Amino acid sequence: MRYLFLIFISIALTACGQSEYDIAFDAYQAQDYETAFKKISVLAESGDARAQNILGLMNERALGVKRDYTEAAKWYSKAAEKGVAESQIRLAQLYIQGIGVNRDYWEGMKWARKAAVQGNPEAEANIGYMFYDGIGVKQDYKEAIKWYRKAAEKDWVSAQHDLGVMYENGRGVDKDIAVAIEWYRKAADKGYIASQSNLNNLYQKNIGVPEDDAEALAWFMNAAKEKHLMAQYKLGMIYYLGEQTEQDYIQAYAWVGISAVAGYKPAERVRDEIATHMTPEDLEKAKILAKELWERYGIKNDD
């Protein structure tokens, strides 16, 4: 009776919408890769394109199975032929790198374009990179800009950075530091280290920043209050070093502090360094201000 009851429960769960794929995908998301691999393998063999895509990922990334690029390429190919954009771009990457398949830039571009036609931002960014570096195609900065922009406007962070690089250096577009900073900020605020570094370099050299000290301070203050991570860090540094305004350790600690909490690692060391210059009373004031600033301007995961 107990066995029949368990069967009944299993059937009831399936009837309630828990398909075999749902169960397998739940295990995959829960990082129960052993269970996921067993169930997804059966579904992939039966022709389920979604399962074939995940099986490709599991083989490529060694999730619950030994890394096998050839096997990954096999399953990506099956799902790609069925129109799964995620598999199409992964297959494109394997062809471009010559991993698991013979390097073939034409095949790489073919599959990237198929995914891009479906609006896949990773594919669009990938095509932009191929045109930027002349990989399998004639180098063409204007084409690179076009594809980077498509992906960047869909919030693909690496494309936002790459678009910033193009505007900063005037490649395929008129040089425009203000626009470069705009794109760098979008990527930097998501934690993209290369954009954080590029912004920091521009800010240190006062490139794209008002020349007048008072205007520069107001410029960084406005950007900081708009929740731009590197502007918050730079504003803290301005107060710390007293370069464009009077030195103020309390303001410095607070602004650098919230950029550290938001994930900018170099800010942690600077915040702690600032604290060594402060009295216990001022440090307490700085911590209270930092909490207030974080509540109003902190870059949180749900922003």
Look at residue 137 and give its three-state secondary structure. coil
Contact partners, residue 120, CB within 8 Å, separation at least 6:
85, 86, 88, 89
Please report, for residues 5, 7, 42, the alpha-carbon distance to residue 12 in angstroms, rounded to integers and kept in the order given: 10, 9, 22
User: For the chain, what percent of residues have pLDDT higher than 90?
Assistant: 89
Show the tokens assigned to 158: 């690496």
Residue type, 285: K
Model pLDDT, residue 88? 97
Model pLDDT, residue 300? 80
d(CA 266, CA 199): 14
Look at residue 192 and give its three-state secondary structure. coil
Task: Find the length of the chain.
Answer: 303
Please report which confidence band the pLDDT of residue 221 belongs to, taking 50, 70 and 90 as the band edges: very high
Model pLDDT, residue 4? 40
Model pLDDT, residue 18? 73
User: Where do the domains of the chain lie?
Assistant: 19-118, 220-297
275-299 pLDDT, tens digit per residue, is: 999 999 999 999 999 999 999 999 8
11-29 pLDDT, tens digit per residue, is: 444 445 578 899 999 999 9
- Please spell the DSSP secondary structure of 210-259, one letter per residue: -SSHHHHHHHHHHHHHTT-HHHHHHHHHHHHHTSSS---HHHHHHHHHHH
The least confident of 15-19, 138-142, 144-148, 215-219 is 15-19
Model pLDDT, residue 13? 45
Contact partners, residue 164, CB within 8 Å, separation at least 6:
180, 181, 182, 183, 184, 187, 195, 198
For the purposes of burial, counting CB atoms within 10 Å of the CB of 86, is it exposed (0-12), middle (13-18) or buried (19 or more)?
buried
Please report, for residues 123, 225, 302, the alpha-carbon distance to residue 250 in angstroms, rounded to integers and kept in the order given: 46, 17, 27
The least confident of 49-58, 77-86, 208-217 is 208-217
Place of tokens 């370069």: 243
Average pLDDT, the chain: 92
- Supply the CATH classification number for the domain 19-118: 1.25.40.10
Cα angle value 291/296/298 (rounded, 5°): 75
